[in-house]
């Protein structure tokens, strides 16, 4: 395998080839005109000390040297080099509420889309932390196991929607329970979960579960998405029209942010409470809390990359150009 750091320099090969063809044709044309009119005796006398064979090799060496010089300037990278990399960070799991109430639009464009955007901002600024994602509503599922592949994480995050879990409702405790099963039980720290929800816990027991998680070394931050005033809950059908969710009596349901419960949950989990609203950069509060945590060496990774080999070609070029420069063109005396 071979790659080039500056591949556009290879275009000089084309320019060099065109120049060489033109030079050969022009030289051939003028040589014919000159030698045809020149007296043979004068020609022999003028070039009596010139060895045409040596001159030809001198030109060849110079041309080869220039070819290697262009090749070297393009920055050839050949083979692979294995390098150890030590990553320091924490294991970070986002638990994202995908219940229908996250479709509410008191936060623009919707609670879920705002949450995904802010989480994306956090992921884009991580350095070495492993990331996992849990989605939950009436039940919870591990959506993305812990990984340090942030590009893949962003792709998984973008695909989250409120149709992922048919069992509707909001059970925060099941999300916490799933998160506890994701982390390495041998570590007593370096574990953090970010619970992103509108706080409507229909099942209860979340605060107690957060305290249990803290005892096992998992710090839980809570993020509220929504407003205290609340909003109606759009329900989208297949024709892209929407209606609003109603209770059994046919009354429109207004989903409101349960901020007090989320604050209690964060306190029980040893973390902080933040709120994603219509303002920018709210993710920085959570990111700062993660950055301030004690970090550990998660793993020593190795990766392969092309190794620069321009030095070898530059050396070869220098040798050919030097040989072409110092090579004599005089005939040897017999």
Q: Is 15 among the domain residues?
A: yes
- Looking at the fold, whether 70 and 197 belong to one and the same domain comes out as no
Q: Is 332 among the domain residues?
A: no
Q: Is 331 among the domain residues?
A: no
- Looking at the fold, whether 16 and 160 belong to one and the same domain comes out as no
Q: What is the pLDDT of residue 302?
A: 55
- Looking at the fold, whether 154 and 287 belong to one and the same domain comes out as yes
Q: Is 333 among the domain residues?
A: no
- Looking at the fold, whether 221 and 199 belong to one and the same domain comes out as yes
Q: How far apart are CA 123 and CA 76, in angstroms?
A: 34
Asked whether the bond before 109 is cis by omega within 30 degrees of 0, the reply is yes
Q: Is 201 among the domain residues?
A: yes
Q: What is the pLDDT of residue 242?
A: 64
Q: Mind giving me the DSSP string for 13-61? A: HHHHHHHHHHHHHHHHHHHHHHHHHS-HHHHHHHTTTB-HHHHHHHHHH
- Looking at the fold, whether 45 and 131 belong to one and the same domain comes out as no
Per-residue pLDDT of the chain (334 residues; tens, 9 = 90+): 677 788 888 888 888 888 888 877 877 777 666 666 666 666 666 666 767 777 778 888 888 888 888 888 888 887 766 666 666 788 899 999 999 889 999 998 999 999 999 999 999 998 888 899 999 988 899 999 999 899 999 999 999 998 888 887 777 888 888 988 888 776 667 889 999 998 776 556 888 889 999 988 899 999 999 888 888 988 876 555 568 888 788 888 888 888 899 999 999 999 999 998 888 777 898 999 888 887 766 555 555 566 778 888 889 989 988 988 887 777 766 5
Asked if 176 contacts 205 with a C-beta cutoff of 8 angstroms, the reply is no
Q: What is the pLDDT of residue 241?
A: 57
- Looking at the fold, whether 7 and 100 belong to one and the same domain comes out as no
CA distances from 260 to 137, 154, 166, 256, 273 (A): 20, 30, 28, 12, 10
Q: How far apart are CA 283 and CA 117, in angstroms?
A: 9
- Looking at the fold, whether 249 and 210 belong to one and the same domain comes out as yes
Q: Is 334 among the domain residues?
A: no
Number of domains in the chain: 2
- Looking at the fold, whether 50 and 100 belong to one and the same domain comes out as no
The residue among 329, 314, 328 whose CA lies nearest residue 66 is 314
Q: What is the pLDDT of residue 300?
A: 53
- Looking at the fold, whether 166 and 253 belong to one and the same domain comes out as yes
Contacts of 248 (CB under 8 A, 6+ apart): none
- Looking at the fold, whether 27 and 139 belong to one and the same domain comes out as no
Residue numbers of the domain that contains 202 = 85-300
Q: What is the pLDDT of residue 190?
A: 81
Running DSSP on this structure, what letter comes out for residue 300? E
- Looking at the fold, whether 31 and 134 belong to one and the same domain comes out as no
Q: What is the CA radius of gyration of the chain?
A: 36
Contacts of 12 (CB under 8 A, 6+ apart): 70, 73
- Looking at the fold, whether 59 and 182 belong to one and the same domain comes out as no
CATH number at residue 188: 3.40.50.410
Q: How many helices (H) and strands (E) does the chain have?
A: 10, 13
């Amino acid at each position: 395998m071979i790659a080039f750091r500056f591949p556009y320099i290879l275009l000089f090969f084309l320019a060099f080839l065109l120049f060489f063809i033109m030079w050969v044709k022009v030289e051939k044309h003028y040589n014919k005109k000159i030698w045809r009119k020149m007296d043979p005796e004068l020609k022999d006398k003028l070039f009596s000390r010139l060895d045409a064979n040596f001159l030809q090799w001198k030109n060849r060496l110079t041309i080869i040297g220039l070819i290697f010089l262009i090749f070297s300037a393009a920055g050839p990278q050949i083979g692979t080099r294995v390098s150890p990399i030590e990553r320091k960070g924490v294991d970070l799991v986002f638990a994202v509420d995908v219940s229908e109430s996250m479709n509410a639009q008191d936060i623009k464009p919707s609670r879920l889309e705002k949450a995904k955007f802010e989480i994306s901002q956090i992921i884009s600024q991580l350095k070495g932390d492993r990331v996992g994602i849990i989605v939950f509503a009436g039940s919870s599922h591990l959506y993305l196991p812990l990984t340090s592949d942030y590009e893949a994480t962003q792709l998984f995050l973008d695909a989250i929607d409120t149709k992922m879990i048919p069992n509707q409702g909001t059970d925060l405790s099941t999300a916490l329970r799933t998160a506890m099963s994701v982390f390495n039980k041998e570590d007593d720290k370096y574990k953090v979960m970010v619970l992103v929800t509108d706080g409507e816990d229909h099942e209860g027991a979340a605060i107690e579960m957060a305290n249990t998680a803290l005892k096992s070394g998992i710090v839980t931050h809570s993020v509220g998405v929504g407003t205290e005033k609340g909003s109606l809950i759009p329900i989208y059908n297949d024709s892209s029209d929407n209606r609003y969710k109603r209770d059994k009596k046919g009354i429109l349901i207004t989903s409101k942010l349960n901020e007090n419960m989320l604050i209690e949950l964060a306190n029980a989990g040893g973390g902080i409470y933040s709120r994603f609203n219509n303002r920018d950069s709210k993710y920085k509060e959570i990111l700062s809390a993660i950055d301030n945590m004690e970090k550990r060496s998660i793993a020593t990774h190795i990766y392969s990359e092309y190794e620069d080999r321009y030095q070898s070609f530059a050396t070869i070029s220098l040798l050919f150009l030097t040989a072409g420069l110092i090579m004599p063109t005089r005939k040897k005396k017999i």
